[in-house]
Amino acid sequence: MRNSKGFTLIELIMSIIILGFVSLIMIPFVTSIGHGPDPAIRQRAISLGQALLDEIIAKKWDENSPTGGGPICTTESPDQTARPSLIDNCVTVATPVATLGSDAETRIDFDDVDDYDGLTASDNFIDQSGAGFSLPGYSRAARVTYIASDSNPVTAASPAAAAVTTDTKRIVVTVVSPRQETMKFVALACNY
C-alpha cells in the first residue's frame, strides 16, 4: 500500500481552498480589465458635450442682437415708459419661441444661440469650422428654450410653455456614450 500514488483527502481540500483564494483575488482584477475603457469613453463624451456648449455660448444671444452686444426687447424687458433711457438701446425684438432653431443656415453659418435648437448628430460630427470627425457610438443633441430670469430651479417649464420670450435662454446639450450613459450640460445665456 505504501507504493500507491495519488492525493490524500487533506491535499485535495487544501488545493480547493487555495484555488478559492486565488479566484477571490482574480475575479475583481478581470472585472476591472473589462471596464478599463470607461474613463476614456466618459472623457470623450464630456469633451463632445463641452465643445458644443462652448461653441453655443460664444455666439450672440439672439439673431436680432446688435453687433457688439446690447439688450433687445422681450416680454420680460422693463417697461419702456418707466425707463425712457432704454428706448434707444432696446429697439429690436427677440426671436419668437415658435421660430427658435436654425434660420435656414448651415452649421458653419450659425450666428446666435437659438440656431442650435434641435441640432442632433450621431457617430459622425461636424465642428463649427465644418470639419468632420467620427466617434462611433456617441450621439449629442442641443435644445435651447426661453426660461424666466428668476426661474428656480432652472427649468424650461415656464414661461416657454406660455410661448413668451424672456431675457434668459436655457441651453441643454445631451451626450449619450456607447455604454448608453447620458450626460447633460446646462448653461444660461442672458440678454445683455
Tell me the pLDDT band of 171, cut-offs 50, 70 and 90: very high
Count of positions (residues) in the chain: 192
Q: How far is CA 171 from CA 37, 77, 174, 192, in A?
A: 29, 20, 10, 16
Q: How high is the pLDDT of residue 130?
A: 77
Indicate the SS3 state at residue 178: coil
Q: Above 90 in pLDDT, residue 184?
A: yes
Among residues 51, 54, 75, 73, the alpha carbon closest in space to that of 64 is found at 73
pLDDT tens figures, 99-143 = 787 777 877 888 888 889 998 989 888 877 778 888 899 999 999
Domains of the chain, by residue range, sit at 39-190
Q: How high is the pLDDT of residue 81?
A: 46
pLDDT tens figures, 30-87 = 777 666 567 888 898 999 999 999 999 988 888 887 776 666 777 766 554 444 444 4
The model's pTM: 0.70
Q: How high is the pLDDT of residue 186?
A: 92
Among residues 129, 136, 143, 61, the alpha carbon closest in space to that of 101 is found at 143
Residue with cell 495519488: 6
Q: How high is the pLDDT of residue 57?
A: 92
% of the chain surpassing 90 pLDDT: 22
